[in-house]
């Protein structure tokens, strides 16, 4: 089936099933194009909870669809490719958290949203890359274990030096590819461009950036900026919104390998199949669901 025919079938199935399609900023362009909403994982989960549709196709990776299910337990949440996982999320388990709690009983666990629901359920509060600094700074304990991303954690540690922060050793395999030399090279090729990077990058890369933020913050920053050229240090999918919102600006990707293989698994074909066969349904065990919901609610309460 050609692209136009596939898109038309998706729109038809979407109407018939009264479904909502949401796509993460890292999805392939065609998938972002047919989505009702595009954004970061937490924004999309909130949209799913607020909207009336009972069937949600979440074009992202597993932990994202899980977060949507936790906030909308009665809806049918579908992930088009069931093996679209997140290696970073898989770098910590619920058992690891149990062991940390035994070893450091006075510490509170701040868990990045890139984590399995079972890990969220054992954490004190969740954070996103947009609010990690605020959550750690304002959490009512000076002793924090931050997991699973050591790079986001070390970015937070720099901004909140007054707290004692233990880091877990996880990292994003895609952001980890960017090295200091890549930034230096990109800057010399594009001397007028600002460098915008994600806090999942290595500390020495973050150090050289003009701006550090989540996908949404990078898109908002470039859109509000009077500058015309930007070097982008995150997954390539963000270029879709950056270019759409800023047709007069230039964007250069910091490293050619900024492609998350898992995010790229969802295709128009798998979105169409998800709608047609109502697959793959995301389920979360009740006890885990309640624990993860409590930790997410704590984040919301903290603003
Ligand atoms: O939470 C998200 O959506 C992720 C993984 C990154 C971001 O900065 O939006």
In terms of domains, do 167 and 93 share one?
Answer: yes
Mean pLDDT of 53-57: 98
**Residue 258 within a domain:** no
Cα–ligand 1 centroid distance for 286 (angstroms): 25
**CA-128 nearest atom, ligand 1:** 1
**What CATH number does residue 8 fall under?**
3.40.50.10800
CA of 215 to the centre of ligand 1 (A): 6
Ligand 1 pocket member 40 (CB < 6 A): yes
What pLDDT shows up at residue 303? 76
* pLDDT, averaged across the chain: 97
Q: Binding residue per annotation — 260?
A: yes
Report field, pTM of the whole predicted structure over 0.85: yes
User: Tens of pLDDT along 256-293?
Assistant: 999 999 999 999 999 999 999 999 999 999 999 999 99
29 inside domain: yes
The reply, when asked if residue 277 is annotated as ligand binding, is: no
Q: Domain range spanning residue 14?
A: 3-85+263-283
Based on the fold, state whether residues 95 and 161 are members of the same structural domain.
Answer: yes
pLDDT band at 199 (very low <50, low <70, confident <90, very high): very high
> With a 6 A CB cut-off, is 114 part of the ligand 1 pocket?
yes
199 is known to lie in a ligand binding site: yes
pLDDT category at 1 given cuts 50, 70, 90 is: confident
Instruction: Report pLDDT for 142.
Output: 98
172 has binding-site annotation: yes
| Residue 41 CA, closest ligand 1 atom number | 3
113 CA to centre of ligand 1 in angstroms: 8
How far away, in angstroms, is 130 Cα from ligand 1 center?
Answer: 8
Residue 14 above 80 pLDDT?
A: yes
Residue 205 has a pLDDT of 98
The total number of structural domains that make up the chain: 3
Residue 27 Cβ contacting ligand 1 at under 6 Å: no
User: 201 in a domain, yes or no?
Assistant: yes
The pLDDT value recorded for residue 23 is 98
Residue 147's DSSP bridge partners are 111
Residues 295 and 147 both lie in one domain: yes
Residue 238 within a domain: yes
Question: Does 233 score more than 90 pLDDT?
Answer: yes
- Asked whether residue 197 falls in the same domain as residue 161, the answer is no
Do 117 and 55 reside in the same domain of the chain? no
Q: Are residues 29 and 68 in the same domain?
A: yes
pLDDT given at position 290: 98
Query: Per the annotation, does 235 bind a ligand?
Result: no
- 80 and 10 in a common domain: yes
Kindly give the number of the ligand 1 atom that is closest to the alpha carbon of 114.
5
Least confident of 41-45, 87-91, 103-107, 164-168: 41-45
Closest C-alpha to ligand 1, atom 1: 41
Residues 112 and 168 in one domain: yes
Q: Between these two residues, 167 and 42, which has the higher pLDDT value?
A: 167
Whole-number Å distance, alpha carbon 2 to ligand 1 midpoint, is: 31
Residue 25 inside a domain? The answer is yes
7 and 48 inside one domain:
yes
**Cβ distance 267 to 32 under 8 Å?**
no
pLDDT at 27 over 90: yes
Nearest residue (CA) to ligand 1, atom 8: 214
Same domain, 165 and 298: yes
pLDDT of 279 reads 98
Q: What's the pLDDT at 196?
A: 98
């Amino acid at each position: 089936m050609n692209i136009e025919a596939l898109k038309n079938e998706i729109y038809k199935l979407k109407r018939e099933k009264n479904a909502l399609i949401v796509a993460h900023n890292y999805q392939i362009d065609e998938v972002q194009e047919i989505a009702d909403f595009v954004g970061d994982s937490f924004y999309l989960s909130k949209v799913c909870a607020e909207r009336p549709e009972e069937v949600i196709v979440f074009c992202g990776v597993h932990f994202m669809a899980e977060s949507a299910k936790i906030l909308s337990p009665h809806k049918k949440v579908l992930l088009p490719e069931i093996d679209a996982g997140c290696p970073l999320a898989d770098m910590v388990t619920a058992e690891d958290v149990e062991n940390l709690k035994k070893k450091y009983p006075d510490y509170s666990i701040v868990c990045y949203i890139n984590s399995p629901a079972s890990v969220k359920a054992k954490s004190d509060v969740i954070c996103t890359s947009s609010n990690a600094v605020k959550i750690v700074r304002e959490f009512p304990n000076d002793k924090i274990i931050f997991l699973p991303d050591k790079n986001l954690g070390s970015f937070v540690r720099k901004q909140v030096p007054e707290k004692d922060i233990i880091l877990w050793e996880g990292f994003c395999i895609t952001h980890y590819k960017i090295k200091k030399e890549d930034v230096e090279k990109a800057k010399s090729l594009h001397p007028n461009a600002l460098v915008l990077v994600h806090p999942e990058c290595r500390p020495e890369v973050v150090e050289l950036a003009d701006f550090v933020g989540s996908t949404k913050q990078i898109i908002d920053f470039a859109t509000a900026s009077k500058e015309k050229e930007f070097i982008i240090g995150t997954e390539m999918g963000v270029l879709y919104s950056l270019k759409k919102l800023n047709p007069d600006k230039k964007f250069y990707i910091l490293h050619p390998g900024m492609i998350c293989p898992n995010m790229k698994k969802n295709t128009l074909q798998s979105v169409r199949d998800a709608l047609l066969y109502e697959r793959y349904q995301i389920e979360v065990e009740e006890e885990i669901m309640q624990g993860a919901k409590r930790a997410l609610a704590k984040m919301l309460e903290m603003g």
